[in-house]
Structure 1
Amino acid sequence: MSAKYAPKGAFGQAIHTAEETVIAVILGLMTVLTFTNVVLRYVFNHSIIWGLEATLVLFAWLVIFGISYAVKVTAHLGVDAVIGALPSRGQRVLAVLSALACLIYAVLMLKGAYDYWAPFAGLNQTTGRVFPTGIDANTRDRAFYMTEQIPFPAFLSFLEDAVNQGDTYDKLPRFIPYVMLPFGMALFLLRLVQASIEIWRGERSALIVSHEAEDAIDDVRHLNKED
């Protein structure tokens, strides 16, 4: 799908390359950790005890980060049987309405993601049950919560004073793996805003990929002609 996406300008190309690099690095780390653990377990009767938890964190990062990337390159799947039966004007109206619904959803997800992550980072949650209405000064500090097995790297020791009131961490604090929640949802919202503007301008037909079967057939037909 990404082959059809054309970044705009040098900055857009740099961002696109950075996003694909992050995805590739996460996939690579997951593969290396899993493969190393298999070899250690079956050959040396040993294992990296924190390997499974780290792999689960990386997989969660991959999914959350990948949501916004898929919006950008129009890779999210959807059913467009009803939309395809409408005239072009009706298709555009439904595309705009669906974009607005997704924007509202993304805002709700961003609030929920931040409110979940904030206590683990020693920050205050927002007030309001649906949309943020202010800052909740009574947020319970959960900065002392740590992961189960992932070790705490020594170069991050400054976080003990900055976040955990000087108390030491034996394992990686949870706010580090959880930070992908608000970051990923903020990026998701940004990509939806960009996609919605493109739909409004007529530069994009929908948020989902459509007619992928026809496109695949066309690609095969093109390859056959080249042969």
Structure 2
Amino acid sequence: MSGKYAPKGPVGRMVHGFEETAIAVMLGLMTMLTFANVILRYAFNASIIWSLEVVLVLFSWLVLFGVAYAFKITAHLGVDAVTNLLPPVPRKVVALIAGAICIFYALLLCKGAWDQWAPFADLPPTSGHWFPTGLDTAARGRSFFETDQIPMPEWLRFLEDWINYGERYSKLPRVVPYTILPVAAVLILFRICQAVRRVWTGESESLIVSHEAEDAVDDVAALNRGD
């Protein structure tokens, strides 16, 4: 990717490559599974019984990945009618305050994502309502919870010894699809910090504002002019 969204530094390039690859793989798998199921259903009166659940999982992953990715390309909608009236310095201060609030929210999101995912990985969630005050080792594990129809891949059988005390899974454990929760939360935090850094260094005047409506009006005006 070139231009202002090009990754900078080894960490940025690594995260960028991970995001791009993950999104491409998820889109490809969703398309292939849906296409195969349609062909099987209408041509052979059969279906891949677990494909719908897999597509739903992949779509959920895609949405959460997309949230972080939209932060990177400033595609989230925002209202800047008031801040655009401010001089440059106060506008930057307001943007940095908004960025600090977003970072705080992302940290809360990370805690919530960990607390939701950890019991399914046989790990302790954090204690504390807003801020982590420790680990709740008395929390009941949920590593035995399985998906409804997704079969258990043989190459993931090591999870039975790691988190399920040697008990075999008949279906894919829920810890696998739920892993996207902490991963996406950390990615969102990382992208928000990048956006705040761009404002701090003067590379950008705002955080995550997309002028989608204005761009659409400009496109229509250009079409009417015959451009």
Output the CA distance in 1 between the equivalents of 2:35 and 2:194: 38
Q: Where does residue 127 of structure 2 map in the other structure? A: 127
Conserved 8 A contact 2:79-2:209: no
Structural mapping, 1:42-121, within 5 Å: 42-121=42-121
For structure 1, list consecutive stretches of 5 or more residues without a partner in the other structure: none
Residue 3 to residue 27, structure 1, CA distance change in 2 (3 Å): farther
Deviation at 1:15, TM superposition (A): 3.7
Q: Where does residue 38 of structure 2 map in the other structure? A: 38
Output the CA distance in 1 between the equivalents of 2:139 and 2:194: 33
CA deviations 1:49-99 (Å, max 9, x no partner) are: 111110010011111112111112222121212222222223212211111
Q: Where does residue 201 of structure 2 map in the other structure? A: 201
Output the CA distance in 1 between the equivalents of 2:211 and 2:183: 31
Give, as a single letter, the amino acid of the residue that structure 2 aligns with 1:29.
L
Give, as a single letter, the amino acid of the residue that structure 2 aligns with 1:93.
V
* Alpha-carbon RMSD: 2.5
Deviation at 1:162, TM superposition (A): 0.8
Output the CA distance in 2 between the equivalents of 1:3 and 1:198: 14
Deviation at 1:107, TM superposition (A): 0.7
Deviation at 1:153, TM superposition (A): 0.5
Deviation at 1:12, TM superposition (A): 3.7
- SS of aligned partner of 2:29: helix
Give, as a single letter, the amino acid of the residue that structure 1 aligns with 2:62.
L
Residue 110 to residue 14, structure 1, CA distance change in 2 (3 Å): closer
Output the CA distance in 1 between the equivalents of 2:110 and 2:9: 28
Give, as a single letter, the amino acid of the residue that structure 2 aligns with 1:69.
Y
Output the CA distance in 2 between the equivalents of 1:14 and 1:108: 25
- SS of aligned partner of 1:148: strand
Output the CA distance in 2 between the equivalents of 1:42 and 1:87: 62
Matched, 1:28 2:49: no
Deviation at 1:214, TM superposition (A): 5.8
- SS of aligned partner of 1:21: helix
Residue 141 to residue 10, structure 1, CA distance change in 2 (3 Å): closer
Conserved 8 A contact 2:80-2:209: no
Deviation at 1:2, TM superposition (A): 7.8
Give, as a single letter, the amino acid of the residue that structure 2 aligns with 1:97.
I
Output the CA distance in 1 between the equivalents of 2:2 and 2:169: 41
Deviation at 1:121, TM superposition (A): 0.5
**Count of aligned residue pairs for this structure pair:** 223
Give, as a single letter, the amino acid of the residue that structure 1 aligns with 2:102.
C
- SS of aligned partner of 1:147: strand
Matched, 1:155 2:155: yes
Output the CA distance in 1 between the equivalents of 2:44 and 2:178: 33
Output the CA distance in 1 between the equivalents of 2:210 and 2:89: 17
Output the CA distance in 2 between the equivalents of 1:146 and 1:2: 42
Structural mapping, 1:177-216, within 5 Å: 177-212=177-212
Give, as a single letter, the amino acid of the residue that structure 1 aligns with 2:100.
L
TM-score by length of 1: 0.89
Give, as a single letter, the amino acid of the residue that structure 1 aligns with 2:108.
L
Residue 9 to residue 102, structure 1, CA distance change in 2 (3 Å): closer
For structure 2, list consecutive stretches of 5 or more residues without a partner in the other structure: none
- SS of aligned partner of 1:149: strand
Output the CA distance in 1 between the equivalents of 2:144 and 2:63: 26
Give, as a single letter, the amino acid of the residue that structure 2 aligns with 1:56.
L
